[in-house]
Amino acid sequence: MTEIDRNRLQNLLESEEKRFHQYHPKSFQLYQRARKCLQGGVPMLWMIRWAGTFPIFVNKGKGAHFTDVDGNKYIDFCLGDTGAMTGHAPDATIQAIVDQVNKGITYMLPIEDVIWVGEELQKRFGLPYWQFTLTATDANRFAIRMAREITQRKYILVYNYCYHGSVDETFITLNPEGPGPRRGNLGPPVNPIETTKVIEFNDIKSLEAALSPGDVACVLAEPAMTNIGIIHPDPGYHDALRQLTKETGTVLIIDETHTICTGPGGYTAAYGLQPDMLTLGKPLAGGVPAAIYGFTREINDRFHARLNLEDSDVGGIGGTLAGNALSIAAMKATLEHVLIESSYKKAIDLSNRFAKGVESIIAEFSLPWIVKRLGCRSEYWFRATPPRNGGEAAVAVDSELDRYMHLFSLNRGILMTPFHNMALISPDTTQEDVDYHTQVFREAIVSFLG
């Protein structure tokens, strides 16, 4: 089968939307109220993009599951889009949060636990110096600023269809008429071609050409792309990236925010990468806002040589609540007890099972689809072969089919990660959860193949 009957799919989508309405009367009521006080009826605009005609309001969650205000139960394969990769409300993190809350939440002074966290990050990622922010977006913004400051260069370099948070410089794509603002880039301060060079992932020649003038401060790279589907680096790509950045004096920043799904030290530790800087956020503190950026001794020394103590609070790096006591306490407990080797092993084994289940259905119906995996992250994609870069992956986006698969799953108690068909597995996900997904995935295929 290669052709999908689009009329049939549209009719099915409409009937799934009706079913969604039927099962979520309270969420609908709350949404009507929310629309009168919140932009788009949601606290953060992305939440209007979920499949379904309004967002589900959550009542409570624990581990790999949550319940909505209508009493519907869900297996959560979205896990707050990695923010809750630890599973919801992990016991050790909750205990640390409760203890710390009773002692104060933020002082703009360090607590002793932060040293344990810094030492732990050294061990995991191999970089000696660390700073804290509240979001991975900020970690990337500050890493870029440091790179620009020490190199005194104008450009950064990113990959086509990358995502690194709401960092202005990164919303650039290779458009038919050449590099330019990515579709949907809202209110950009300047055209990103003034700040950024963009190339395809896995293209060593373009990388060499972009870096050779010596005007790029940093490459900001996910070690494997994850935001336009999972795209693995070609063998040898990371060696070339490291060598070319070194030769041209370009700072290499590896963003591990999603690839932390690979293992306790992210992709960097698993594959022996040697970045100059590393950024990471989302699940670090079990869902409490917390993010980090780390760097080499050389970067540290070069930066400090240019830092004027008197101006350190107005230099565009930092934040009042960054490094707050609550985030640090939650991060310590999460790193010590939750994001550990044994949790990863369990989650990665189940992720394998998830991928095998979906692959078996794809094979049964001879669909031209593939499943891609990285650590505890699996994803099906509507093309027959793995894309090598963002441009190839973007061509295969099928928003209608995507929406249908999401809504079909949601209506049967499964929440997938939105905007692509990704399942993140937590240490609390069970074999039954995964097998139930395989069953529902099959039912979805049968429904539109007829």
Residues found near ligand PLP in the complex (CB under 6 A):
135-137, 140, 163-165, 222, 227, 255, 257-258, 281-282
Nearest distance in Å: CB 195, ligand PLP: 17
State how far the Cα of 244 lies from the Cα of 141, in Å rounded to an integer. Answer: 23
Nearest distance in Å: CB 126, ligand PLP: 19
One-letter amino acid of 257:
T
The single-letter DSSP state of residue 56 is: P
Nearest distance in Å: CB 259, ligand PLP: 8
Beta bridge partners of 88: 63
Between residues 66 and 163, which has the closer beta carbon with respect to ligand PLP? 163
Between residues 12 and 335, which has the closer beta carbon with respect to ligand PLP? 335
Nearest to 357 by CA among 419, 406, 425: 425
Between residues 253 and 440, which has the closer beta carbon with respect to ligand PLP? 253
Residues in Cβ contact with 41 at an 8 Å cutoff, skipping those fewer than 6 apart: 31, 32, 34, 35, 48, 54, 55
* 349, burial (CB in 10 Å: exposed 0-12, middle 13-18, buried 19+): middle
Nearest distance in Å: CB 298, ligand PLP: 24
State how far the Cα of 136 lies from the Cα of 167, in Å rounded to an integer. Answer: 10
Nearest distance in Å: CB 150, ligand PLP: 22
CA count, 13 A, side-chain hemisphere, 384: 5
Between residues 248 and 324, which has the closer beta carbon with respect to ligand PLP? 324
Between residues 393 and 434, which has the closer beta carbon with respect to ligand PLP? 393
Question: Are 279 and 139 contacting, i.e. CB atoms less than 8 angstroms apart?
Answer: yes
Between residues 264 and 289, which has the closer beta carbon with respect to ligand PLP? 289
Q: Which residue is nearest to ligand PLP (CB)?
A: 165
Nearest to 368 by CA among 354, 390, 386, 393: 386
State how far the Cα of 323 lies from the Cα of 339, in Å rounded to an integer. Answer: 19
The single-letter DSSP state of residue 280 is: E
Nearest distance in Å: CB 134, ligand PLP: 8
Nearest distance in Å: CB 183, ligand PLP: 18
Between residues 165 and 275, which has the closer beta carbon with respect to ligand PLP? 165
Question: Are 255 and 222 contacting, i.e. CB atoms less than 8 angstroms apart?
Answer: yes
